[in-house]
């Protein structure tokens, strides 16, 4: 699969996601209707995909006639158009774009985990030299629910950290469109309330109970049914974070807390597009008649 084919698949998948999530072409009747929301979503996603900035992604689209043809662009948007669109586009719509990739699945093993994205781009050397005298910004905490079979993000909750893991457990499960058979999470999510909620979904909570816990009906039930083999599926959730940070960076560049949160939502959506492209490439390789010397790793 050539590099340009990867970008073509990326844009096609992005436009398909917009249609499936029922994102309207224009935000309102009185909009100028120069660019559709689908076009701006695709360009912003490309910016996260290539780990670039607003001016850079505009320059990139300008020299990619194939992309302009797929997006049906008659003119190149100004970088401020993309920035204002990202600020205006609601988090609920990004949630819909993320969830649409798992809507056809009925049940699965879901893994829940959280990780932080740094709001400070200072180098480690700089931080050592100032001896920590400069106040550090709060990080952005990303709590995700992952289908461990496809490694796709089914839902997410993003907020400014530090925050306790337990706070986001139930909200992130409520947003997921997949009915879980098993929910796996690390010991930080262990609480009677979380075990009880998973049980109410007619699923099994595979969350190790903390040491010295002697109370709780559902916690004691978990102790008896705990399976190390199933629990280690949780590592696939950490794999998702590893891929996200290696491909799209572990820093966010926005200035305000609101835009930092939105930026991480977009990173989650872009990761799903990247994963779907990988799955498509793997399928094309399996049915390809070309020699086996051409290897594609997923």
Please state the domain extents for the chain.
Answer: 3-89, 96-264
Cβ pair 201, 127 in contact under 8 A: no
pLDDT confidence of residue 212: 79
The Cβ of residue 22 has, within 10 Å, a number of other Cβ atoms equal to 9
Give pLDDT tens digits for 76-106. 999 999 999 998 898 889 999 998 877 656 6
Give pLDDT tens digits for 270-285. 999 999 988 877 654 4
pLDDT confidence of residue 47: 92
Averaged pLDDT, 10-35: 89
- List the beta bridge partners of residue 152: 147
Q: What percent of the chain has pLDDT over 70?
A: 86
Identify the residue with better confidence: 225 or 194: 194
Identify the residue with better confidence: 5 or 147: 147
- List the beta bridge partners of residue 147: 110, 152
Give pLDDT tens digits for 214-264. 787 888 888 788 888 888 888 899 999 999 999 998 888 888 888 889 999
Lookup: tokens for 216: 């709780």
Q: Distance between CA 148 and CA 184 in Å, rounded? A: 10
Name the class of domain 96-264: alpha beta
pLDDT confidence of residue 108: 83
pLDDT-derived band at 19, boundaries 50, 70, 90: very high
Examine the pLDDT at 2 and tell me if it is beyond 60: no
Averaged pLDDT, 33-51: 92
Examine the pLDDT at 120 and tell me if it is beyond 90: no
pLDDT confidence of residue 180: 87
| φ and ψ of 229, to 5 deg | -60, -45
Identify the residue with better confidence: 265 or 27: 265
């Amino acid at each position: 699969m050539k590099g340009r084919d990867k970008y073509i698949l990326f844009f096609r998948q992005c436009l398909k996601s917009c249609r499936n999530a029922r994102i309207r072409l224009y935000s309102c009747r009185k909009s100028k209707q120069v660019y559709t929301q689908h076009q701006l979503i695709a360009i912003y996603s490309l910016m996260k995909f290539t780990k670039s900035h607003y001016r850079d992604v505009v320059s990139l689209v300008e020299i990619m006639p194939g992309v302009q043809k797929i997006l049906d662009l008659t003119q190149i948007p100004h970088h401020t158009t993309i920035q204002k669109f990202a600020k205006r586009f609601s988090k609920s719509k990004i949630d819909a774009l993320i969830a649409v990739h798992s809507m056809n699945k009925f049940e699965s093993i879901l893994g829940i985990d959280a990780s932080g994205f740094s709001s400070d781009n200072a180098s480690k050397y700089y931080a050592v030299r100032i001896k920590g005298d400069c106040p550090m910004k709060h990080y952005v905490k990303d709590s995700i629910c992952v289908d461990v079979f496809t490694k796709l993000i089914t839902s997410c909750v993003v907020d400014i950290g530090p925050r306790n893991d337990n706070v986001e457990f139930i909200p992130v499960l409520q947003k997921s469109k997949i009915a879980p058979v098993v929910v796996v999470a690390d010991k930080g999510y262990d609480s009677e309330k979380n075990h009880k909620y998973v049980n109410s979904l007619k699923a099994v909570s595979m969350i190790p109970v903390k040491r010295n816990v002697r109370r709780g009906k559902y916690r004691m039930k978990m102790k008896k049914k705990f399976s190390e083999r199933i629990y280690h599926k949780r590592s696939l959730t950490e794999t998702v974070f590893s891929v996200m940070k290696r491909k799209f960076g572990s820093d966010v560049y926005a200035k305000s807390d609101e835009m930092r949160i939105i930026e991480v939502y977009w990173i989650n959506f872009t990761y799903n597009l990247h994963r779907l492209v990988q799955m498509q490439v793997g399928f094309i390789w399996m049915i390809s008649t070309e020699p086996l010397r051409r290897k594609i790793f997923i």
